[in-house]
Structure 1
């Protein structure tokens, strides 16, 4: 069995599709798909990209499929701090700043904090400085007993939500790093959630500056990325889950912005 055939079969298994299902979706005969997976036929570059599209394979892994078949990668992977991505990164930072007074963070595929707005500072105040040393993993920071966990009022429910989400992400991407992170976080104390949470969403109920805040989160990604680095970025933004939190956040909370955050940098001069 060829290396690319093994990878294609593995992705098909992750998506829980039979050869018949995938062949119907991609417009390929089941016989040909079988030959590709077993190595009896060598896929073309176009065929790999077609199958990867129907299997919803991440851009990084699409490049791996192409390399396994002897082709050059199809998607660039630029340095996030480099000049080619500077405009997009600046726009994403504007989104973070524009979300204030509500917290928002920019993360990569492994939940590493790339940037944050000033409103995140009250949430991480009091965390062990070791957890705030770059690279900061926001999930570790949130669930670690030396991080945010002691101030999360509904820690068992929030912990169950985070672990379930991380488990699904690891299964969908096949990323060993995410699997290891899930196992690490699952071993941390935090209690077990019982029953079904009340309300419409699982909130983050958090004590900050002596006040209880309640949030729900929204994850935003770029709609049409053609660069691996950009495809793996997401903004995790938090919005008030009740009127009391909205009212409290309209009042300033005395806390310095996190190091390296959007609020730490001077505002860019408008070109208009």
Structure 2
């Protein structure tokens, strides 16, 4: 790995401003003097690797960006980055497989930090049926598949609300990670047709609690609520970007339909 061009102080200052923190705020949270932090940001003082990691923790920086800041400071990366197929991540693969298989007959997918599909259980075929092949050619981006007119969008009955929910979530993730790939994806998806969400949610029990996915399958309306599962204590860059998106039936009719489809 090569040392990045931007100095550690510049990177630190950029992340601090992204988080809306003053030098004093960050210094207090990290247990250092504001003067020393100022010297680090201006390049007058070289931070130790321990200080870099402490500051990165307070700024909730992604693990990959913590490695980048360590490299900028002249130190080795602290967090490994394996391929999911590597032997070291065998326990992770086994855990994910158990989650996906255990969620059947309901749909569940494993995605990476850029919303690319990594794995899925068979029930996801419910969502991919009818999508054009260019959206199903790897790497498949599940957000693009969801909102593109050639994907799931024509069958999402509450597309304005679901679209607004996904775009809001993507925007928050882009801000938190400061990832240009996510900003570009947000801009792309925002240009797809889909209308605007209503000022007030649909007046039913589910919509008063969460934004459901209302999906047309053949002549039936299916209703889902979704959950996201993350690895709680990741120490690997790859693992830190993984998430399981699982869909649960929001009503008894959807439950019955999914069980019927699984046995047909």
TM-score category of the 2 structures, normalised to the smaller one: over 0.9
**Distance in 2, Cα, partners of 1:77 & 1:87:** 15
CA distance, structure 2, for counterparts of residue 109 and residue 254 of structure 1:
33
1:181 maps onto 2:185 in alignment: yes
1:88 to 85, 88, 92: 92
- The offset of 1:250, in angstroms, is 2.5
1:202-238 CA distance string (max 9 Å, x none): 1100012332111111111101111101111000011
Q: Which residue of 2 aligns with 1:74?
A: 78
* 2:168 matched residue in structure 1: 164
Could you say which residue in structure 1 is the equivalent of 2:257? 248
Matched, 1:221 2:221: no
Aligned Cα RMSD in Å? 1.3
Distance across 2 between alignment mates of 1:226 and 1:203: 33
Counterpart residue number, 1:100 = 104
- Per the TM alignment, residue 31 of structure 1 is displaced from its structure 2 partner at its CA by 0.9
User: What SS class does the counterpart of residue 250 from structure 1 fall into?
Assistant: helix
Pick from 103, 115, 120: which aligns with 1:116?
120
Query: 1:254 deviation in Å?
Result: 7.5
Aligned-pair distance for 1:134? 0.7
CA contact (8 A) 2:49 2:75 kept: yes
If the length of structure 1 is used for normalisation, what is the TM-score?
Answer: 0.90
* Residues 1:25 and 2:37 aligned together: no
Q: Are the counterparts in 2 of residues 220 and 235 from structure 1 also a CA contact under 8 Å?
A: yes
Contact 1:12 1:55 in 2 (8 A): yes
Q: Please say if 1:42 is aligned against 2:51.
A: no
1:86 Cα deviation (Å)?
Answer: 2.2
Residue 175 of structure 2: SS of its match in structure 1? helix
Equivalenced residue count is 254
1:136 aligned residue: 140
Instruction: Determine if the alignment matches structure 1 residue 14 to structure 2 residue 13.
Output: no
Q: Aligned in 2, Cα 1:160/1:88: closer, same or farther, shift over 3 Å?
A: same
Name which of structure 1's ranges 23-32 and 102-111 shifts more when overlaid on structure 2: 23-32
Report if aligned partners of 2:105, 2:262 keep a CA contact under 8 Å in 1.
no
C-alpha distance in structure 2 between counterparts of 1:210 and 1:225, whole Å: 43
Conserved 8 A contact 1:23-1:29: yes
Is contact 1:151–1:208 with CA below 8 Å preserved after alignment? yes
* 8 Å Cα contact 1:5-1:38 kept in structure 2: yes
* Partner in structure 2 of residue 202 of structure 1: 211
What do the CA deviations read for 1:180-219 (whole angstroms, capped 9, x no partner)? 1011111111111120324210110001233211111111
Distance across 2 between alignment mates of 1:10 and 1:254: 54
Q: Distance in 1 between matches of 2:224 and 2:19?
A: 32
Gaps of at least 5 residues in structure 2 are 1-5, 203-207
Match of 1:264 in 2: none
What's the TM-score, normalizing by structure 2?
A: 0.93
